[in-house]
Structure 1
Amino acid sequence: MYCVREIAENLYWVGGNDHRLALFENIHPIPRGVSYNSYLLLDEKTVLFDTVDWSICRQFLENIKGVLGDRPLDYMVINHMEPDHAACIEEIVLRYPNVNIICTPKALLFMQQFGFHIDGKVIEVKEGDTMSFGKHEVVFVEAPMVHWPEAMVTYDTTNGVLFSADAFGSFGALDGKMFNDEMNFDRDWIDDARRYYTNIVGKYGPHVQSLLKKAGGLDIKMICPLHGPVWRSDLGYFIDKYDKWSRYEPEEKGVMIVYGTMYGNTEAAASDLATRLVKKGMTNVVMYDVSKTHVSYLISETFKYSHVILACVTYNLNIYPPMLGYIMDMKALNLQKRTVALIENGSWAPQSGKLMRELLEDMKDMTILENEITLTSSMKENDEDSMEDLADSIIESMK
């Protein structure tokens, strides 16, 4: 039984949802599942925009058949060759052998690398190329490294629809709600959208900025991403988020405290600092145990807040391993423009503060507060003045 939604006149969503998958890219937890979006246009010619992950291929094929009926499939546009969107290319070619595949030259190379056997006609396109399918004319816009080098987006000049590939996507299954105005996005979706962007695309902020500049010249009325809801209203809200995230500007003035603790003493010190900050009027404070919080959530929150406090034990004369992994992910994803404070702990040779500082100094535009705190095993009365000074320094840096 097919299950589709009409997106606009003669344009249909033919994708599906996956609640079974536990880890996106076998890394990132997706407790709310994920959607794989594909779109089918019925014009004088019929056009499929991208395919889906292998996990929902059967539903996908039923959806296409349900919309096409006895009509042939004339074109298949491949905006992005990552397997969660391109896995079913061969299945489409098998069922619609006369389909013409439209993609970038690099996408064709990736098809060959993944071992796809494509006997049909391939039309290679580049920046600014156009095609007419009847009433609808589209223009192809290259979007390299958002977030693969072969990526492009497709803009329908007739109805203002942007098929945005992995841009403007989100974790989370749609569960019947297709459009952003059918849900409370700011309450229920923004955290998943941020976590998706920061962990999947976050490294490539300059490339996203380049795409946003190109998109600024288009009269976009609807955004159709490959994951998450379709945007048909309040587009500026989500575009502004992408602009901030891709410029590495924090969304909020607030303090994120991430602590690595073995027996609770470093956690106690982190809690003491949080309490002092709140008493001084900074109530936008969150705390995370680096050992219990998946790093994808930590990265997402780090993109959100202006200030990050790292409180860490010394482990084998090094940084506590979960904290080290988190910092290395920050570095790999190009995080910048944050104010950071450091608290180190150690029973005989505290080292974590110095080592964390060295890693942070290699990152761009990071302000590291000077009054670093060193604890020996646990926080004591003679550490209170230093903690109070650190809290004051954090508050002052926010002015």
Structure 2
Amino acid sequence: MYKPIEITKDIFYVGVNDRTKESFESLWPLPKGVSYNSYIIRDEKTVLIDTVDICYSDLFMRKIRSVLGDKTIDYLVVNHMEPDHSGSIEFLVSKYPNIQIVGNKRTIEMLKGFYGITGNVIEVKDLDEMSVGEYTLQFYMTPMVHWPETMMTYVKEAKTLFSADAFGTFGTLDGGVLDKQICPERYNDEMIRYYSNIVGKFGSPVQTALKKLANVGVDALCSTHGPVWVIPENISKVFALYDRLSRYEAEEGLVIAYGSMYGHTEELAEIIATEAAENGVKSIVMHNVSKSHESNILRDTFKYKGLIIGSPTYNNKLYPAVDSLVSAIQNRNLKNRFFGYFGSFTWADATARQFEAFAGAMEFETVAEPIIMKQAMLGDVVDKARNLGRIIAEKLTSGAEVVPNNTSNC
């Protein structure tokens, strides 16, 4: 029924598309769906790299048989135990009872914890190798990219890297699987959204993994989500993007995220944005937190170097969706941003001290005096808003380096 999809000689794609699920991890919207990628190496010994969500196990099995026919699977390599990739392991074992499962120490612990599997397991360590015939598998431990057991598997002779969730992206594979079959630009923002929401907290482990892979030649980059990258220029771009994002480096541009109940706080956001544009900032993204999903705001905070957040006081706290956004940014350890904030209140302000505490906890540079508006835009509020827009524009367009608030100038 299915025609085998060959990535390179003897290596095949057997993943599936999910166009049904509305939210990834029940958190992140999937307007373009998501793929769960799995791969087969057909050699003297047959090797399956990762599985798929249990919901697609029947389809998965049909795709496996399109490559192997009645031939058995000798090894299952588990690079990542998150259930969207390990969910079909029990099903697979029922079909191939003699299959041997290859993973690291943490993988083996999770196999027992999730599925009660303790037999037919092979433990591998960092840089261990396994011959399966013509091809040699080498295992790279990449813990906390983005789970503690995560590893990558490299086929030395084919220069093919199976990278688990690293280098993944939201979005289904609509016909083409290889980047040379599609317009890969359609995945750019979804790769950044995937990174910022799923991997973003773990910049340091990503940097460690990239250094480990620095001298590994890669002709095919096979993630567990999204396209298979085989065009050298695209592989270089994907590695460069992960390097930049994990260093918390960003493009020239400004994100203004705000909550507004009756429009007064939104007016401040508009004035700030207009002034920033008049002073040379061309990439400005505005998010009303009541309408924009948090995942999209996080994507843009990873993408752009300027960040301004505004909130009315609500029950003596930040507006709930702003409070959630601030928490999410802090949880991802975002660094190296020019930061400004503004707030509004009717009878008692709570925004100033909470934004100040947030800014002090982050490696941000607060660029101007905060704007706190009582009731409406009277007095010098408009002047302060314009000043914030102008100063952050100067910072962004001049190429200035961020000097974090918590860094001593002595």
TM-score, normalised relative to structure 2: 0.94
Matches of 2:61 and 2:276, distance apart in 1: 55
Q: 1:330-369 alignment to 2 at 5 Å?
A: 330-363=329-362, 365-369=363-367
Give the match's secondary structure for 2:255. Answer: strand
> Structure 1, residues 97-132: CA drift from partner, whole Å, max 9, x if none?
12111111110110111133354x211000011011
Task: Tell me how large the CA RMSD over aligned residues is.
Answer: 1.3
- Map of 1:99 onto structure 2: 99
Is residue 216 of structure 1 aligned with residue 206 of structure 2?
A: no
Please state how far the C-alpha of 1:96 moved relative to its aligned partner.
1.1
What 5-or-longer segments of structure 2 have no aligned partner? 399-410
Matches of 2:66 and 2:182, distance apart in 1: 26
Which amino acid is the alignment partner of residue 282 of structure 2? Answer: T
Which amino acid is the alignment partner of residue 392 of structure 1? Answer: R
Is residue 39 of structure 1 aligned with residue 39 of structure 2?
A: yes
Matches of 2:248 and 2:377, distance apart in 1: 34
TM-score, normalised relative to structure 1: 0.96
> Structure 1, residues 4-61: CA drift from partner, whole Å, max 9, x if none?
4111111110110010000101111011110000001111111100100112111101
- Map of 1:375 onto structure 2: 373
- Map of 2:387 onto structure 1: 389
> Structure 1, residues 317-350: CA drift from partner, whole Å, max 9, x if none?
2111110100000011111111111111111222
Please state how far the C-alpha of 1:383 moved relative to its aligned partner.
2.4
Determine what percentage of the aligned residue pairs are the same residue: 39
8 Å contact from structure 2 (residues 271, 382) kept in 1: no
Which amino acid is the alignment partner of residue 29 of structure 1? Answer: P
- Map of 1:6 onto structure 2: 6
- Map of 1:198 onto structure 2: 196
Consecutive aligned runs of 4 or more in structure 1 exceeding 4 Å deviation: none
Is residue 294 of structure 1 aligned with residue 293 of structure 2?
A: yes
Please state how far the C-alpha of 1:170 moved relative to its aligned partner.
0.5
Give the match's secondary structure for 1:102. Answer: strand
Please state how far the C-alpha of 1:261 moved relative to its aligned partner.
0.3
- Map of 2:408 onto structure 1: none
Which amino acid is the alignment partner of residue 204 of structure 2? Answer: P
8 Å contact from structure 2 (residues 125, 141) kept in 1: yes
- Map of 1:16 onto structure 2: 16
Number of aligned residue pairs: 395
- Map of 1:74 onto structure 2: 74
8 Å contact from structure 2 (residues 168, 223) kept in 1: yes
What 5-or-longer segments of structure 1 have no aligned partner? none
- Map of 1:164 onto structure 2: 163
- Map of 2:123 onto structure 1: 124
8 Å contact from structure 1 (residues 144, 150) kept in 2: yes
> Structure 1, residues 64-114: CA drift from partner, whole Å, max 9, x if none?
112111212111111111100001111111111121111111101101111
Q: 1:209-358 alignment to 2 at 5 Å?
A: 209-233=207-231, 234=233, 235-250=235-250, 252-358=251-357
Give the match's secondary structure for 1:32. Answer: coil
Matches of 2:269 and 2:368, distance apart in 1: 17
Give the match's secondary structure for 2:321. Answer: helix
Matches of 1:220 and 1:328, distance apart in 2: 37
Give the match's secondary structure for 2:335. Answer: coil
8 Å contact from structure 1 (residues 140, 152) kept in 2: yes
Which amino acid is the alignment partner of residue 215 of structure 1? Answer: L
Give the match's secondary structure for 1:338. Answer: strand
Give the match's secondary structure for 1:366. Answer: strand
Matches of 1:217 and 1:290, distance apart in 2: 43
- Map of 2:152 onto structure 1: 153
Give the match's secondary structure for 2:392. Answer: helix
The more displaced of 267-276 and 221-230 is: 267-276
Please state how far the C-alpha of 1:183 moved relative to its aligned partner.
2.5
